[in-house]
Structure 1
Amino acid sequence: MGDLFAPQHLILILVIVVFLFGGKKIPELMRGLGKGIREFKDAKDNVKREIEEHINEDSSTKSTSTNSTSNN
């Protein structure tokens, strides 16, 4: 079937997008796409940070409970 993102396919997709939305709407669409990607990355980073915090919190809790039981 061939490569989906071959240069010919990308040019055809670009031409179709220009016909559908017109030249004036494309910058607005790209801005919206950029904002969406930025928000997605921020949300992904927040989730990753929360997971790491919980992992660190759990490991510090376990190490403290292990130390207190071994000291008795």
Structure 2
Amino acid sequence: MLANFGAPEIVLIFATLLILFGAKKLPEIARNFGKGIKGFKSEMNTIRETVKRNNRELK
């Protein structure tokens, strides 16, 4: 499962990213990834609230 990452796996992923993108690009990549996750969660909450509101209106 994805949730079962241990320290060795995280170090391996970080080292791979460091080799692929270099140290200067990693903060920008992490920042953009975080913004993407935040936007995704926001849209999911909007959809969830819309579904709840529509269900209440149908009752």
TM-score calculated relative to the size of structure 2: 0.84
User: In percent, how many aligned pairs have the same letter?
Assistant: 32
RMSD: 1.2
Question: Which residue number corresponds to residue 16 of structure 2?
Answer: 16
Letter in 1 for 2:41: K
Residue 40 of structure 1: SS of its match in structure 2?
A: helix
Structure 1: 5+ residue runs without aligned partners?
Answer: 60-72
Question: Which residue number corresponds to residue 42 of structure 1?
Answer: 42
Q: Which runs of 4+ in 1 moved over 2 A?
A: none
Question: Which residue number corresponds to residue 64 of structure 1?
Answer: none
- Give the Cα separation in 2 of the matches to 1:24 and 1:16: 14
- Give the Cα separation in 2 of the matches to 1:49 and 1:6: 35
Higher helix proportion: 1
Deviations along 1:32-69, one digit per CA (max 9) or x if unpaired, are 1011001101110110010011011011xxxxxxxxxx
- Equivalent pairs counted in the alignment come to 56
CA deviation after TM superposition for structure 1 residue 9, in Å: 2.1
Structure 2: 5+ residue runs without aligned partners?
Answer: none
- Give the Cα separation in 2 of the matches to 1:14 and 1:37: 19
Larger radius of gyration: 1
